[in-house]
A and B are shown apart, each in its own frame.
Chain A
């Protein structure tokens, strides 16, 4: 067989690969397109013609779910909890990672391995003791307890990513800073953090998805309706709509939960795929 025909044959085979690739892409995308269309329909349309596009887009579904049903409040809560948690995770995590990566001291390896082993423990193992602890400390059912738990549960992973970054920075950098009269803290803040920005971004992205989407801890720690984060709000909405059947508003709520993750995903797609696999290959 000539080389040209061999290449042609493999070309046809490659073209055939598009069939399964496209089929699975449709399986992934179709439910979301359906959701988008459903979020703009009336409840009657959903029953009578679930497959068709909305006759008149019902933007009011979004208005109702946002203000009357209170998903807007949940959205604000989620923004608040995610922002504060991420700030503390990145600050505290990068400080610890810096100390563990750049200094030699007794007990360093022990502390490092205690942090790393945290990635193996399932959240639910400690959920009852955590619940009782927060209740005893008087920070159950409020954001102090939720944010403290989010920070504590995210530190292992964050320190894992950031220690790698700090280790890879050349030692001359901090020495030069010290000679210029900076103390350790200024070196960290002015020299190391700006250079470690890619690491901070990577850790930030993964923590964003982790916390924005987090469900089990919030379910256990938050009982007050007004404090609900978005995943709690949506889950509660489903229960409620079983009786009120305002499906259009429910679907609009789902779109509202998914939209920020979609935006962040589109912006940081490269970092997300790279970070996902880099962590995997190194680990």
Chain B
């Protein structure tokens, strides 16, 4: 009796979630791996099985795909080099019992709470050719800015979008690392100081090894975020000028919803998924070896 009652309850409680999640999440995700094997264009529901031909075309005959991948890699590499060290620095600084640390933390995290669309529009105006803030700053130093604006120039567009994405996400990583830094007992630093360790030595030999796991997590987040970047780029430049800021997902979106090239677009999605997996696993491997045992 109690057993049957229990099973009834479990079924009742789980069914809505399982059905919704199964139909609108698991099913489309799983179907992607199947749709990617078809030549499937346009409004007609005619689809033709072509095996791995989409992937072959993508990898060997599609320069836009490689350009887009290159831009995602640029996002990733610049973020790794800029975001991780800066976030660690700011987290350490905020942990050193400064007055106002809470306020700084609150300010830093705020951009991450705004809609990426709003961030994109705001920064598009920072870079605007006529009323842009950046032009004003550059003119102060006597440099005459280009006519098309920073986002219209193929040379500056990508760095500008990457800078915006760093502005948007840095606070998240500061807060993440701050939690790690805060969990290190003060006595460790005091002991190191008595041993004559300066600020840098303390950072290098106490902080870094003890936040290593969270650092790893931050790197994984960064990989996922930078390979999935879409909204910021789409609103700021839509991948332009002439594909110079194209990323994998803006390309996927265009293939699917402008060209109605459903099979090929989905193949891009599968590649992004596999790339995230491969890059994450290799970073986890790489960082595993360097863990310092205490």
A: residues with CB less than 8 A from B are 13-14, 17-18, 20-21, 24-25, 27-29, 31-32, 34-35, 38, 46-47, 50-51, 92-93, 95-96, 98-100, 103, 105, 111, 114-115, 118, 121-133, 148-149, 151-153, 155-156, 159, 183-185, 188, 209, 212-213, 215-216, 219-220, 230-231, 234-235, 238, 247, 250-251, 254, 257-258, 261-262, 264-265, 269, 272-273, 276-277, 280-281, 283
Contact = CB atoms under 8 A, between A and B. Distances in A.
B114 A213 contact: yes
B275 to A, nearest CB: 10
A132 B262 contact: yes
Interface string B230-262: 110011000000000000010011001100001
A130 B273 CA distance: 16
Contacts of A184: 5-6, 9
A114 B17 CA distance: 12
A28 B179 contact: no
Q: How large is the interface on B (under 10, 10 to 19, 20 to 34, 35 or more residues)?
A: 35 or more
Contacts of B18: 96, 111
Contacts of A276: 172, 175-176, 179
A46 B96 CA distance: 42
Contacts of B214: 280-281
B89 A103 contact: no
Interface in B110-129: 110-111, 113-118, 121-126
A234 B114 CA distance: 13
29 contacts: A14-B96, A20-B90, A21-B90, A31-B123, A50-B133, A96-B14, A96-B17, A114-B26, A122-B269, A123-B228, A125-B269, A125-B270, A125-B272, A126-B28, A126-B32, A128-B256, A128-B262, A129-B32, A183-B5, A213-B115, A215-B115, A215-B117, A234-B117, A235-B235, A247-B131, A257-B114, A273-B105, A280-B217, A283-B217
Nearest to A159: B17
Nearest to A223: B257
Given A105-B10, A126-B29, A184-B6, A220 B98 contact: no
B173 to A, nearest CB: 10
A188 B272 CA distance: 41
Contact of B269 (A31, A128, A272): A128
Nearest to A153: B25
A258 to B, nearest CB: 5
Given A129-B32, A129-B35, A215 B90 contact: no
Nearest to A256: B118
B174 to A, nearest CB: 9
B212 interface: no
A209 B224 CA distance: 19
A237 B134 CA distance: 23
A155 B17 contact: yes
A276 B106 CA distance: 13
Given A105-B7, A152-B24, A152-B25, A93 B110 contact: no
Contacts of B26: 114, 118
B55 interface: no
A11 to B, nearest CB: 11
Interface string B30-43: 01100100000000
Most-contacted residue by chain B among A126, A235, A277, A283 (CB, 10 A): A126
B148 interface: no
B256 A127 contact: yes
Nearest to A25: B107
Contacts of B110: 28, 262, 265
A126 B25 contact: yes
Contacts of A21: 90, 93-94, 98, 104
Most-contacted residue by chain A among B5, B117, B214, B252 (CB, 10 A): B117
A99 B116 contact: no
Contacts of B117: 213, 215, 231, 234-235, 257
A1 to B, nearest CB: 11
Interface in B158-172: 167, 170-172
